[in-house]
Chains A and B, each alone.
Chain A
Amino acid sequence: MKTVVVVGSGASGVHFSLAALEKGWTVTMVDLGRRGHEPVLPDMGFEDLKTQLDDPVSYFLGRNFDSVLLPSSKGEYYGFPPNKKYVFDIPDREQIEVSGFEPLRSYAEGGLAETWTGGSYSLRDSDLTGFPISREDLAPHFAGVANEIGIAGEYDDTSRFFPSDHYLRKPVEIDAHGNYLLKRYKKARRRINKLDRAVIGRSHTAVLSSDHEDRKGCTLSGRCLWGCPVKALYTPSITLSKLKKHERFTYLDGMLANWLEIDNDGKAVALDVTNVVTGGKERIEAQRFVLAGGTLSSSRIFLDTWRLWKGESPRLGGLMDNRQIIMPFVTLAMLGKRCETRNYQYHQLMMVLEGKSEEEMIHCQVTTLKSAQYHAIIQSAPMDLLGAMKLFRLTRTSLGLVNINLHDTPRDDSYVTIKPGNSGEVSKLSVVYVPEENEAEKIRIAKRRVKSVLRRLGCIVPPGMTRLRPMGASVHYAGTLPMSADRRPLAVDKECRSYDIENLFIADGSTFCRLPAKNLTFTLMANARRIGMTAF
Chain B
Amino acid sequence: MIGLGEECALFFGYLTKKEPAEYILEAYRRAHRDAGLLPAEASGPDAALLNFASHGGWRLAAADAYARIFFPASLLRKKLILALALAENTPQGSDRFNLETDKGFFRSIVELSFLSFRFLTFLTIGVLFLYPRLNFRTRL
Contacts and interface: CB of A to CB of B under 8 A. Distances in A.
Interface of A: 47, 50-51, 56-57, 59-61, 63-65, 68-72, 332-333, 335-339, 341, 373-375, 378-379, 382-397
Given A333-B105, A335-B108, A378 B84 contact: yes
Given A50-B90, A336-B108, 16 more contacts: A47-B94, A56-B90, A61-B85, A69-B81, A335-B112, A338-B99, A375-B84, A379-B77, A385-B68, A385-B80, A386-B15, A386-B61, A386-B64, A389-B96, A394-B111, A394-B112
Interface in B27-72: 27, 30-31, 35, 37-38, 61, 64-65, 68, 72
Contacts of A68: 31, 37, 81-82, 85
Chief secondary structure at chain B's binding surface: helix
Interface stretch (B2-10, B113-121, B130-138): B113-121
B94 to A, nearest CB: 4
27 contacts: A47-B94, A50-B91, A51-B94, A57-B86, A57-B90, A60-B88, A64-B35, A68-B82, A71-B72, A71-B81, A335-B108, A337-B102, A337-B103, A339-B100, A374-B88, A379-B77, A382-B68, A384-B65, A385-B15, A385-B84, A386-B64, A387-B65, A387-B118, A391-B115, A392-B97, A393-B96, A396-B98
Contact of A61 (B89, B100, B118): B89
A384 B94 contact: no
Given A383-B119, A396-B98, A60 B89 contact: yes
Nearest to A339: B98
Contacts of B116: 383, 387
B85 A375 contact: yes
A395 B105 CA distance: 10
Contacts of B81: 68-71, 375, 379, 385
Nearest to B80: A385
A27 to B, nearest CB: 43
B4 to A, nearest CB: 14
Contacts of A378: 84
A65 B72 contact: no
A384 B107 contact: no
Nearest to B68: A384
Contacts of A64: 35, 37
Contacts of B109: 335
Given A57-B89, A65-B35, A389 B103 contact: no
Contacts of B38: 70
Nearest to A382: B68
B108 A383 contact: no
A65 B89 CA distance: 12
B99 A50 contact: no
Contacts of B115: 383, 387, 390-391
Contacts of A375: 81, 84-85, 88
A374 B96 CA distance: 11
B14 to A, nearest CB: 6
Nearest 10 Cβ contacts at the A-B interface: A336-B108, A336-B103, A384-B65, A384-B64, A383-B119, A60-B89, A51-B91, A50-B94, A335-B108, A375-B85
A389 B85 contact: no
A338 B94 contact: no
A385 B98 CA distance: 16
A68 B88 CA distance: 11
Contacts of B107: 336
A50 B86 CA distance: 10
A387 to B, nearest CB: 5
B84 A394 contact: no
Contact of B65 (A70, A383, A389): A383
Contacts of B14: 386
Contacts of B104: 336
A339 B94 CA distance: 13
B78 interface: yes
Contacts of A332: 105
Given A71-B78, A339-B98, A384-B65, A57 B27 contact: yes
A69 B82 CA distance: 8
A333 B105 CA distance: 7
A373 B89 CA distance: 9
B103 A394 contact: yes
B73 interface: yes
Contacts of B88: 50, 60, 373-375
A47 B78 CA distance: 24
A396 B77 CA distance: 22
A30 B9 CA distance: 52
Contacts of B73: 70-72
Contacts of B119: 383-384, 387
A471 B105 CA distance: 39
Contacts of A59: 89
B97 to A, nearest CB: 5
A59, A373, A394: most-surrounded residue (chain B CB, <10 A): A394
Contacts of B111: 336, 390, 394
A72 B107 CA distance: 35
Nearest to A72: B73
Contacts of A395: 108, 112
A283 B68 CA distance: 58
A394 to B, nearest CB: 5
B5 to A, nearest CB: 16
A527 B35 CA distance: 45
Interface centre among A47, A65, A333, A379 (most CB of B within 10 A): A65
